[in-house]
Amino acid sequence: MSLTIIPMTWRQACEFVALHLRHNKPPRGCKWAIGVVDDDGILHGVALCGRPVSRNLDDGLTIEVNRTCTDGTLNANSCLYGACWRISLAMGYRRMITYTQADEDGASLRAVDFVKVRDIPARGSWAASSKAQRHLRDPVGTGNIARSLWEKCVAG
């Protein structure tokens, strides 16, 4: 079975994420979204890329893969990451980042030459940072979960 990258709308990609992703909601927005389909046109995964969530990393030349989500099809995730990198380069970005949960091995990222930059300790949820929002703590998300930051950069 061969896999082919296709363009997606944010809404289409979010619908796929809502159906298939076990530990995160769809992102609030993105710069672009892509999907991966098989020879029969069946959608097996999506990726959404946008500005880095961390203000410190948002330098105008860095793009973040905010979500990838697949149905488990072999090589679909690394296919998505590779395509995101090629699209980023064509748009003039010099660096791509993404995060995994600490218990994920990053095989799809290593397959397309991403490097683990650092491990990030667990923190409270985003809602925990605002007194007015503490009642909104969401059990779905990255709060209280250790993560790893991965990157791929243009050489030189």
Domain ranges of the chain: 4-120+148-153
State residue 137's pLDDT score: 43
Q: Which two tokens stand for residue 3?
A: 């896999």
State residue 143's pLDDT score: 62
What value does the mean pLDDT take over residues 46-61? 94
Confidence label for 145 from pLDDT (cuts 50, 70 and 90): confident
What value does the mean pLDDT take over residues 28-41? 93
Confidence label for 133 from pLDDT (cuts 50, 70 and 90): very low
Beta carbons of 114 and 81 less than 8 angstroms apart: yes
pLDDT at 70 over 90: yes
Confidence label for 24 from pLDDT (cuts 50, 70 and 90): low
Of residues 144 and 82, the one with the higher pLDDT is 82
Which residues, at least 6 apart from 124, have a Cβ–Cβ distance to it below 8 Å? 143, 144
138 burial level (CB within 10 Å; 0-12, 13-18, 19+) = exposed
Domain 4-120+148-153: which CATH number of 3.40.120.10, 3.40.630.30, 1.10.443.10, 1.10.260.40: 3.40.630.30
- Closest alpha carbon to 12 in 30, 33, 28, 29: 33
State residue 79's pLDDT score: 97
